[in-house]
């Protein structure tokens, strides 16, 4: 299928927690084709030096679409399989490369992302906010009247909604999906360590795809980006809840070896009840004890020894006592932290069961997955603020800070809450206390997904 469509579908599947590879490898179990016959796919496999194609399920795109609708892999029934004699299999012929099912929510996310790539933060936030508002509306929007009185519905947003209501889709979002710059930036930024700045540089150098970047001898990669390319397929496939639970055990066991009374908490999306994420975030603190700047180093040293550490970048704390909270909405905090890639060993498949084990067997030579892990060390007195900040979502955090600033004359960040009227720091031992300081009802983590 066309490049844009393929990228869109791969991204969609990954966001739903499916594991999608861009190239044929030993871990591939299902191959999906569109507008290719069974024989053509076999031919292609031969070209990839695959002798035994029975290792794979060869499927039509309709199987993929069914999976996306169900949110899980559906059975590979006969009707989805590519077969020799069957010339009448349900092959779709898309009119455009871009799928027609871009829902309004997708349209806003695409628009927001495109503005992010253009470093237009204001417009990007506008579409992100609109997407958040619309996602959680308790009713479907069918007429422009439905959005009357809603917050975050500026003119740019209204134009897009109007078009979707009239035409069924957004021509602007579609244009973005076909835009060369957007397509390149989307690819570039999918690599760990590559942001908009690096993407801009590569794009200016005339590079358009990750293959071109890899092939270009003049491109200098940072240590982080090298790891990003090395573990690309693993990192781009989302982390499941089960994987997060497994890593949680590893992290806790390691921390407890050095600090038995430590408090280790999963934060980020998994604390908000999400089933998948792009990384796993941890907060580590210890009641009573003085700050121990060695702990993080001891943890990664042990993982190194155990062969579990694929990459790590430790950032030392830059927090100074009684420092006023940052007014910047998206400021990084000053905790000591570590951005790591961990090697999560996965249990071998049990060969005795049915045909599903056939698929798993093939990944025999690689029974681990590279997983992005963030470890954040916080002083105990700041733990509640760190927990609130690192639980997110990013959008929720931004709104909470704006609320503190504009409605309460307070400054909130991941370290503290400062009351500007009383000129004092407000202590909090729990998230509940922070909400109380702000005069808000407590909001559970799973209600913070906006
Ligand atoms: N955060 C923060 N300061 C940072 C980075 C992140 O306060 N320097 C907050 C914002 C959200 C939360 O931490 C977790 O960040 P992510 O891992 O980027 O997001 P997520 O919600 O966990 O989603 P994902 O599933 O993509 O990991
Ligand atoms: Mg996360």
What HEC string does 206-234 produce?
A: CCCCHHHHHHCCCCCCCHHHHHHHHCHHH
pLDDT at residue number 350: 53
For residues 238-248, one letter each, b for 16 or more C-beta atoms within 10 angstroms of the residue's C-beta and e for the rest, the string is bbbeebbebbb
Give the closest ligand to the alpha carbon of residue 277: 1
Q: Which pLDDT does position 104 carry in this prediction? A: 66
| H or E segment and range at residue 57 | strand 57-60
**What single DSSP character describes residue 411?**
E
Is 3.40.50.10190 the CATH number for 3-92? yes
Q: Where in the chain is the domain with CATH 1.10.150.20?
A: 180-230
CA 113 to ligand 1 center in whole angstroms = 17
> Which residue from 347, 361, 348 is spatially nearest to 27, judged by alpha carbons?
361
Domain with residues 100-178, CATH architecture: Orthogonal Bundle (1.10)
Mutation pick for ligand 1 pocket among 279, 280, 326, 401 (CB with most ligand atoms within 8 Å): 279
Q: Would you write out the chain's pLDDT as a tens digit for each of its 450 residues?
A: 777 778 888 888 988 889 898 888 888 999 999 888 888 898 888 888 887 888 899 999 989 988 988 888 999 888 899 987 654 444 444 444 444 445 567 889 899 999 999 999 999 999 999 988 887 788 878 888 888 888 899 999 999 999 888 888 888 998 998 899 999 999 999 999 999 999 999 999 999 999 999 999 999 999 999 999 999 999 998 899 999 999 999 999 999 999 999 999 999 999 999 999 999 999 999 987 677 889 999 999 999 999 999 999 999 988 887 788 887 767 689 999 999 999 999 876 554 444 444 444 444 577 899 999 999 999 999 999 999 999 999 999 999 999 999 999 999 999 999 999 999 999 999 999 999 999 999 999 999 987
CA distance 111 to 176: 7
Who's near 399: CB < 8 A, 6+ residues apart? 450
Instruction: Name which residue sits closest to atom 8 of ligand 1, judged by CA.
Output: 332
- Find tokens 């781009």 and name the residue: 236
pTM score above 0.85: no
Identified catalytic residue from 106, 279, 333, 413: 279
Quote the CA–CA distance of 426 and 428 in Å, as a whole number. 7
Task: Tokens for 153, please give them.
Answer: 């519905």
| Residue nearest atom 21 in ligand 1 by C-alpha distance | 269
CB atoms within 10 A of CB 163: 17
Tell me the fold of 389-447.
Answer: Beta Polymerase; domain 3 (3.30.210)
Is 279 among the residues known to form the active site?
yes
379 lines ligand 1 (CB under 6 A): no
Which residues are 368's β-sheet partners? 345
Q: What is the pLDDT of residue 314?
A: 96
Residue nearest to atom 14 of ligand 1 (CA): 268
Residue nearest to atom 2 of ligand 1 (CA): 390
Counting from 1 in the atom list of ligand 1, the atom nearest the Cα of 239 is: 25
C-alpha 448 to ligand 2 mean position (Å): 14
Distance 394 CA to ligand 1 centre (A): 6
The answer to whether the CB of 414 is under 6 A from ligand 1 is yes
- Predicted pLDDT at 35: 82
Q: Where does the chain hold its CATH 1.10.150.110 domain(s)?
A: 100-178
Phi-psi sector, 423: left (phi>0), alpha (psi -120 to 50), beta: left
pLDDT given at position 92:
41
Q: What is the pLDDT of residue 143?
A: 87
- Give the atom of ligand 1 at the shortest distance from the alpha carbon of 374: 17
Topology at the third CATH level for domain 239-320+333-348+361-380: Beta Polymerase; domain 2 (3.30.460)
Ligand 1 pocket mutation pick from 332, 394, 397, 415 by most atoms within 8 angstroms of CB: 394
Looking at the chain, the domain(s) classified CATH 3.40.50.10190 span: 3-92
Pinpoint the residues of the chain covered by CATH 3.30.460.10. Answer: 239-320+333-348+361-380
Structure confidence at residue 78 (pLDDT): 86
- Cβ of 393 closer than 6 Å to ligand 1, yes or no, is yes
* pLDDT score recorded for residue 134: 84
Q: How far apart are CA 439 and CA 441, in angstroms?
A: 7
The pLDDT value given to residue 214: 96
What is the dotted CATH code of the domain comprising 180-230? Answer: 1.10.150.20
């Amino acid at each position: 299928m066309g490049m844009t469509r393929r990228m869109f579908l791969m991204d969609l599947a990954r966001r739903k927690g499916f594991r999608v590879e861009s190239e044929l490898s030993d871990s591939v179990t299902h191959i999906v084709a569109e507008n290719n016959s069974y024989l053509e796919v076999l031919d292609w496999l031969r070209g990839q030096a695959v002798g035994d194609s029975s290792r794979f399920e060869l499927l039509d795109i309709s199987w993929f679409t069914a999976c996306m609708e169900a949110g899980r892999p559906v059975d590979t029934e006969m009707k989805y399989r590519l077969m020799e004699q069957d010339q009448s299999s349900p092959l779709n012929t898309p009119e455009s490369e871009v799928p027609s099912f871009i829902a309004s929510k997708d349209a806003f996310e695409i628009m927001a992302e495109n503005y992010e790539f253009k470093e237009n933060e204001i417009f990007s936030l506008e579409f992100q906010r609109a997407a958040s508002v619309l996602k959680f509306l308790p009713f479907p929007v069918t007429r422009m009247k439905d959005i009357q009185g809603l917050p975050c519905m500026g003119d740019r947003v209204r134009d897009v909604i109007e078009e979707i209501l009239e035409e069924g889709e957004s021509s602007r979002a579609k244009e973005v999906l076909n835009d060369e710059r957007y397509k390149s930036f989307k690819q570039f930024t999918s690599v760990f360590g590559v942001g908009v700045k690096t993407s801009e540089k590569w794009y200016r150098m005339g590079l358009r795809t990750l293959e071109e970047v890899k092939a270009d001898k003049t491109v200098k990669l940072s240590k982080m980006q090298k790891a990003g390319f090395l573990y690309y397929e693993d990192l781009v496939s989302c982390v499941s809840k089960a994987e997060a639970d497994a890593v949680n055990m590893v992290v806790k066991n390691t921390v407890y070896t050095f600090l038995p009374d430590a408090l280790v908490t999963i934060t980020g999306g998994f604390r908000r009840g999400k089933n998948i994420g792009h990384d796993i975030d941890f907060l580590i603190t210890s009641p009573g004890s003085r700050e121990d700047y060695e702990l993080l180093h001891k943890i990664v040293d042990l993982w190194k020894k155990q062969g579990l550490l694929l990459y790590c970048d430790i950032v030392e704390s830059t927090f100074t006592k009684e420092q006023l909270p940052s007014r910047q909405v998206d400021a990084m905090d000053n905790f000591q932290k570590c951005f790591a890639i961990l090697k999560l060993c996965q249990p071998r498949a049990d060969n005795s069961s049915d045909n599903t084990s056939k698929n798993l067997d093939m990944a025999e030579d690689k029974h681990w997955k590279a997983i992005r892990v963030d470890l954040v060390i916080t002083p105990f007195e700041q733990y509640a603020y760190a927990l609130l900040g690192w639980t997110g979502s990013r959008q929720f955090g931004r709104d909470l800070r704006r609320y503190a600033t504009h409605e309460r004359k307070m400054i909130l960040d991941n370290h503290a809450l400062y009351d500007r009227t009383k000129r004092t720091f407000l202590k909090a031992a729990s998230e509940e206390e922070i909400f109380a300081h702000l005069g808000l009802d407590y909001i559970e983590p799973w209600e913070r997904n906006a």
